[in-house]
Amino acid sequence: MINTIIPLVYVAAAASFILALKWLSAVQTARRGVIGGVLGMALAVGGTLLKPEIVSYHWIAVAFVLGAIVGVPMAMMPMTAVPQRTALSHAFGALAAALVGTAEYYLRTPKIDVLTMAGLAVEVLLGFLTFTASLMAFGKLQEILPTRPITYRGQNFVNLTLLGLAAVSGVVLVAAPERTWLFPVFGALSLVFGVLFIIPIGGADMPTVISLLNSYAGLSACAMGFVLDNHLLIIAGALDGSSGLILSIIMCRAMNRSFANVLFGAFGQVHASAAGAEDRIVRSATPEEAAPILANAGLVIVVPGYGMAVAQAQHKVRELFDTLTKLGVEVRFAIHPVAGRMPGHMNVLLAEADIPYDRMFAMDEINSDFAQADVALVIGANDVTNPGARHDKSSPIYGMPILDVDRARTVMVIKRGMSPGFAGIDNELYYLDRTLMVFGDAKAVVGSLVKEIAAANGMH
């Protein structure tokens, strides 16, 4: 009876995962997608716990408690820390796959067939490198480590050599699994490569890196499914791996860059061109001066960026949205695919603040509207609004699709100072005649704008 129920539970779990991915692809159905994914995982875990091979639940119970002790605080992290939490999730998932692969290797050796050993090699290689790479990504996102690229001469050669040695070690183990002394070397090479893989990558490329690590973790789980003969693991891992890869490709296209450039280009070094920025004229305004411009606009397009996340200003942005809407101002939100530090970062923050889904627009949907906008309000976004991407062939972001904020009648930029973004270059937008710089913390500035507008219009 149990052996009949478990496959049915696994089929239901697989269907839930597939539907969850479909629902998560649209803002309007994203909440349903999250619920579908949680349901699928609950079915997967429940079905596995029904297996007759389990003779004792004691250690499983201990693992549940330890997992809860780690997982609950992670779940309570603020929404602004979603990228870091995602990186940690990838790290834990990949480590679990690598440890299961390690245990299976030592349990089955020397009676291990070639196909199983090949699956184990892929599982352990991807699992360990994803574990350390994800921890490094977490460190950069949390700013425990430098967010800029850390480079040295011959770095790509060293990294590729290390990866090659790990791959060769895996091939040797597939051919001769009994060489148990080589397995720790294989694991160590994978772990070290994960560290060196991330350090030359700058903060601007984190959306792509997060997607890619998601893909690696999924592929590691897929390989584990082949080793354990678990069809659900194969399906879930393949879904995770393929969706992560597709998302990485979308991120690269959004930046008009290749995978090779993201992984080996050390993007994010500060360029000398930014040094002469102080010689150019900047028009600045106080919140008191900027508030009437917003209040008298017909259409305001808000462009959120990483600065909004750092300042945790999303709830103040919601207050500004409500205040302007009450005055009859139409407010829309323009979201660049790589704004923030992970795919969908800005959507998550705005959704947390209960910004209506139908007010959020992707770059391709809203770019043509900037020419009709009275105000483009840029809150902490930098490189994704730089007009230099269109014409400056010497710029590292040349050719990258950007939000056309410079075509609005007035551009209002909320920013702490004039420092360049993660691409390490100066933003031409800040020196246009139609641009007003409102300097300060995004949360404080937006709060002041709300107060000024409300006071001037008798709103309480």
Bridge partners for 362 per DSSP = 335
Selection from 396, 402, 433, 440 nearest residue 418 by Cα: 440
Contact 91, 85 (CB under 8 A): no
- Which residues participate in catalysis according to the annotation? 383
- Cα–Cα distance, 124 to 130 (Å, whole number): 10
In 10 A of CB 275, how many CB atoms?
11
DSSP alpha helix (H) spans, 342-407: 345-352, 363-366, 388-391
Question: Tokens representing 334?
Answer: 């323009």
> How many DSSP H helices and E strands does the chain contain?
17, 6
Phi-psi region of 142 (alpha: psi -120 to 50; beta: other; left: phi over 0): alpha
Bridge partners for 435 per DSSP = 411
What DSSP designation does 300 have?
E
Cα four-point dihedral sign 357, 358, 360, 365 = positive
